[in-house]
A and B are shown apart, each in its own frame.
Chain A
Amino acid sequence: MGSSYDAVIVGAGHNGLICAAYLAKAGRKVLVLERRHVVGGAAVSEEVFPGFTFSVLSYVVSLFRPSIIRELDLPRHGLEIIPLETAFTPQRDGPGLCRWPDASESRREISRFSQKDAEIYPEFSATMTQVSRFAKNIIDSQAPDPSSLRPQELMALLRLGRSFRAGEHGSLDLQAKLFTMSAVDFLDRWFESDVLKAPMSVSGIIGTYLGVRSPGTAYVLLHHYMGEIDGAFRSWGLSKGGTGGISLACARAAEAHGATIRTEASVESILIKGGKAHGVVLENGDEIQARTVISCCDPRRTFLGLVGEESLEGDFVQRINRYKFRGSSGKVNLAVDRLPQFRERSGSAHLRGDVAIAPSIDYLERAYDEAKYGEFSRRPYINVVVPSLMDPSVAPPGKHVISCFVQYAPYHLKEGPEKWPEKREAFGDTVVDTLAEYCPGFKESILHRQVITPWDMEHEFGLSEGNIFQGELSLEQLLFQRPAAGWSRYRTPIQHLWMCGSGTHPGGGIMGASGQLAARSILESRQL
């Protein structure tokens, strides 16, 4: 095959597609190769049962960069994001706590547990808005490299520092503490009621093999918090037609700029000569030449799989080996014939957001305890969303889709990860049983069920060890250390080989930032 491209991108995850769109927009000849039959990677919608479209893995959008939406004109390519409005924490023996867009209503709800918390809540939100302005700079720029003293770098660091110091409420002090604190320590400084703190603390453990009381989780909480307070952008929401809608819009934008996308085209390896990448070989043997190769796969797959240890230095291989995955989440998607009925709540207004099965800090910590010893939690944290309530296009009229994100489902079962297929249905039962404790009659409403274990995520979706973020989103794997110190800027030790997936700064989630920043770096490098 004599075809030759400016850039070949391995993997049509949303980051790969965004990277492709930017490169194509800049006039480059781009080819995207995807192993599966659909584009999107972890951001994918599939009609798993007739009439029911599931966001198979990722299910809410929170950090997707508004600049990408504007620059790639994604709404014209079909992107529509519907904001989520509420955050509901049900209880087994009461109406639970619902936080509403209406501040007064939230205050009254929280007051039922603690009047003090209710009044501090807006103050907390204001402080987090300040903190998130700092986070926003981090997400929208290349990771600063502290080991280098080039003036450019210093400027970047300074910029981060300044925007952070501008914050009030002593946020500089807050920054130092954030790096060492646990999510619970951090929230304890503000609030006293468990039912409020528990669902908030969970942001600190999503996609990690840590508990809400583990050190460093406060920082991760901040990393995620940004999306929720992105103000006018209202980017905490659902994508119409499921999260795959985002990927499809990115794909259409890339194609509109002239990129070619091929599905069912699995890359076997990256062609390397003299330390330089010059193309890829597909599983079917086809060779494709390219001036640059960009991998949207996670660092392990990229380096130990597609590149191969023989082309890398031992030190680098070791660092990639040390890069942690430790997947800890599962997903259960349900088709139901009616809305779930939570205790002492009528109507559906409280379901127009996310529902967190996180009744207390101890509950979450106990869920982690079991995971520590290689078992899935018998009573897990579950994040429930009912997308069909706001987007009727994903279910037949009157029926609904329920998306359950579940933690912990550790990849490393004590019997070994390969035992997951045997445990799949038991895991699914646990999730349904847990929900039924909060929703009488829930089991009877289920028409279909899809259970996805970390093992499935690895084998079906190419996520090593089933980590949802292409590598744990823990403090030591963020910023200039993602995926490895010295290689946080989308370059790799192989010349003309770049990375653009969530395994790079600023990390996982449907953000698009990695793809956007990678494209920018590649274009600036003038290699292309």
Chain B
Amino acid sequence: MPIPTPFHSRTSRLCTSMQWKEWAGYYSVCSYGTSHDPEYFAIRHAAGLIDVSPLFKYEVRGPDAASFLSRVTVKDVRKLKMGRVTYLCWCDDHGKVVDDGTVSRLGDEHFRVTAAEPSLSWFDRLRRGYDVEIEDSSARIGVLALQGPTSRDILAQLTDAELGEIKFFATRRCRLAGVDAWISRTGYTGDLGYEIWVDAAGAETVYDALIEEGRAYGIMPAGLDALDTSRIEASFIMNGVDYYSAHHCLIEDRKSSPYELGLGWTVQLDREPFVGHAALKRELETGSRRRFVGLDIDWEEVESLFDRYGLPPELPTSAWRDSRPIYDSSGDWIGQASSGVWSPTLKKNFALGQVPREHSQPGEKLLFEVTAEYRRHKVSATVVETPFFNPERKRS
């Protein structure tokens, strides 16, 4: 049975739709209202407040913390400056991705790692020889994502922190509504936004203050459905949806390397060995089999397909994550799209997925499976650059 997050007393009062799901063992709101649309639009035009406490969190402390994380993950974390956050992934010995997340440097010898899956035992296995302590802080810390163009103005009302200094991918410790907190200029929506990290004891105070001060700035509690639409527009991948952790795959073909997931930019090879190093080096030399791509599914074709049945185009009302086949232009299966959404902002039908490298260039014409009136059809889809949505304010 799921358990409540530190914000549950507040979110449960606001979730009038009763639409919940389980996320990492916690109760999570899908959408607060009967439709998630207003929550999505709050993220894009005002501010959405999302309870992301179910993220797994680990505090890595000790003199060897930096070199330990550099050994475990694909990045040289020793170079991460105090108060900076970085996004990365970690692999198994064969260079296949185990999980992805962020690492924040909270002190000289203190890092916070987030993960989609329980990771303590994996980190622990690799700990030998390093002078580090690893604490699973998942339950102790509540996390809120405050995302959207007015998020900075809202925080400014509540904190002593110099928000101008908390640049993209920076983090600071501060007082927020009188509570000790960390604020990071990060998020999963591709918009201007922050994540707020507080001890469970102060969680409700912070939540109440944000909602109260946020009212003048159009704040709305937002659920996972709105988040999912935003993250696909921003083309962020999701463990368990767009790829499977190497630890859970029964067959090799299901595993993915960072290069295959579009995470090649996080891999730093010119340094001491790390887990998966040799395999990744080899892959870089020989080339990866697949690439992670964005697809723009031809809307006119979808429209005329449904028109054949006398129907307006029928689309899922929220993001989908049941995989769908991708074919090359001659109709042969070549890969799969793992998630997709009708972008309410761009008015386009997008999907994210993996295809063989030779079909991955932007502009490549592929075919995508669409079901209309119970029948399967193929419509054109073009490989396009990601992120689909990338507003200037995202980095501001």
Question: What is the size, in residues, of chain A's interface with B at 8 Å between Cβ atoms?
Answer: 29
Are A231's CB and B313's CB within 8 A? yes
Residue of B nearest to A67 (CB): B300
Partner of B34, one of A101, A352, A393: A101
Option from A82, A129, A166, A231 in Cβ contact (under 8 Å) with B45: A82
A255 at the interface (CB under 8 A from B): no
| B34, closest chain A residue (CB) | A102
| Interface assignment of B218: CB less than 8 Å from any CB of chain A | yes
If A75-B389, A392-B46 touch, whether A83 touches B37 (CB-CB below 8 Å) is yes
- Cβ contacts under 8 Å, B153 to chain A: 397
Chain A proximity of B391: nearest CB distance (Å): 9
- Whether the Cβ atoms of A392 and B218 lie closer than 8 Å is yes
Q: Chain A: which residue is nearest B311 at the CB level? A: A133
Q: Are A390 and B46 neighbours in the complex by a CB distance under 8 Å?
A: yes
Contact bitstring A298-317, B, C-beta under 8 A = 1, else 0: 00000000000000000000
In the bound complex, do residue A233 and residue B347 qualify as a contact, i.e. CB atoms below 8 Å apart?
yes
Q: Are B41 and A83 in contact (CB-based, < 8 A)?
A: yes
CA distance A398 to B313 in the complex (A): 39
Nearest-CB residue, chain A, relative to B37: A83
CB distance from B304 to the nearest CB of A (A): 12
The answer to whether A70 touches B216, judged by C-beta atoms less than 8 angstroms apart, is no
Q: Mark B120-158, 1 if CB is under 8 A from A, else 0.
A: 000000000000000000000000000001100100000
Does B44 count as interface, using CB distance less than 8 angstroms?
yes
Other-chain contact of A390, B34, B45, B216 (Cβ < 8 Å): B45
Q: Are A392 and B41 in contact (CB under 8 A)?
A: no
Are A166 and B310 within 8 A (Cβ)? yes
B175 at the interface (CB under 8 A from A): no
Q: A102 touching B35 by the CB < 8 A rule? A: yes
Known: A66-B347, A101-B34. A392 touches B313 (CB 8 A): no
A105 contacts partner chain B, Cβ-Cβ < 8 Å: yes
Q: Does A172 reach chain B (CB closer than 8 Å)?
A: no
B389 to chain A, nearest CB (A): 7
Q: Identify the stretch in B70-78, B82-90, B338-346 within 8 Å (CB) of chain A at 4 or more residues.
A: B338-346
**Which residues from A are CB-within-8-Å of B345?**
75, 80-81
**Bound CA span A336–B71, Å:** 59
Check A80 against B310 for contact (C-beta < 8 Å).
Answer: no
CB-defined contacts of B44 to chain A, threshold 8 Å: 80, 82
Instruction: For A234, give its contact among B33, B217, B344 (CB under 8 Å).
Output: B344
Q: Does A494 interact with chain B (Cβ within 8 Å)?
A: no
* Contact present for A75 and B217 (CB under 8 Å): no
Residues of B within 8 A of A397 (CB): 153, 216-217
Is the pair A391, B299 in contact by a Cβ cutoff of 8 Å?
A: no
Q: Mark B27-46, 1 if CB is under 8 A from A, else 0.
A: 00000011101100100111
Instruction: Tell me the minimal C-beta distance from A241 to chain B in angstroms.
Output: 10
Contact across chains for A392 and B150 when beta carbons are under 8 A apart? yes
Interchain CB contact (< 8 A) of A85 among B37, B46, B300: B37
Q: Which residues of B contact A85 (CB under 8 A)?
A: 35, 37-38
| Interface contact B45-A391, CB-CB below 8 Å | yes
Q: Does A272 contact B (CB under 8 A)?
A: no
| Chain B stretch 267-324: residues in CB contact (< 8 A) with chain A | 299-300, 310, 312-313, 315
CB distance from A164 to the nearest CB of B (A): 11
* Binary flags per residue of B215-233, CB closer than 8 Å to A gives 1, else 0: 1111000000000000000
Q: Which residues of A contact B312 (CB under 8 A)?
A: 129, 133, 231-232
A80 in contact with B45 given A232-B313, A389-B218, A390-B218 (CB within 8 Å): yes
Distance in angstroms from B330 CB to nearest chain A CB is: 27
B377 at the binding interface (Cβ < 8 Å): no
| CB pair B348 A70 closer than 8 Å | yes
Chain B residue contacts of A81, Cβ below 8 A: 345
Q: Would A392 and B348 count as touching, CB distance under 8 A?
A: no
Query: Which residues from B are CB-within-8-Å of A352?
Result: 38
A181 within 8 A of B: no
Q: Output the nearest chain B residue to A76 by Cβ-Cβ distance.
A: B346
Chain B residues numbered 361-396 whose CB sits less than 8 Å from any CB in chain A: 389
Cα-based distance from A234 to B35 in the complex (angstroms): 13
Determine the distance from Cα of A160 to Cα of B216 in the docked complex, in whole angstroms: 48
Assembly CA distance A391 to B346 (angstroms): 18
The CB with the most chain B CB atoms within 10 A, among A105, A234, A240, A397, is that of A397
- Would you list which residues of chain A between 80 and 116 have a CB under 8 Å from chain B? 80-83, 85, 101-102, 105
- A80→B233 CA distance, assembly (Å): 14
Closest to A68 in B: B347
User: Which residues of chain B are near A129, meaning CB under 8 Å?
Assistant: 312
The reply to whether A232 and B315 contact each other, CB–CB distance below 8 Å, is yes
Q: Mark A387-401, 1 if CB is under 8 A from B, else 0.
A: 001111100011000
Q: Which 9 A-B pairs have the closest CB atoms?
A: A398-B216, A397-B216, A102-B34, A392-B218, A69-B347, A166-B310, A232-B315, A75-B346, A82-B41
- A residues with a Cβ closer than 8 A to B are 66-67, 69-70, 75, 80-83, 85, 101-102, 105, 129, 133, 166, 231-234, 240, 352, 389-393, 397-398
List 27 interface pairs A-B (beta carbons < 8 Å), by A numbering. A67-B300, A75-B345, A75-B347, A80-B45, A81-B345, A82-B41, A83-B37, A101-B35, A101-B37, A102-B33, A102-B34, A102-B35, A105-B34, A133-B312, A232-B312, A232-B313, A234-B37, A234-B344, A391-B45, A392-B45, A392-B46, A392-B150, A392-B216, A393-B45, A393-B149, A397-B153, A397-B217
Extra contacts besides A81-B345, A392-B150 (4): CB < 8 Å: A70-B348, A82-B44, A101-B35, A232-B342
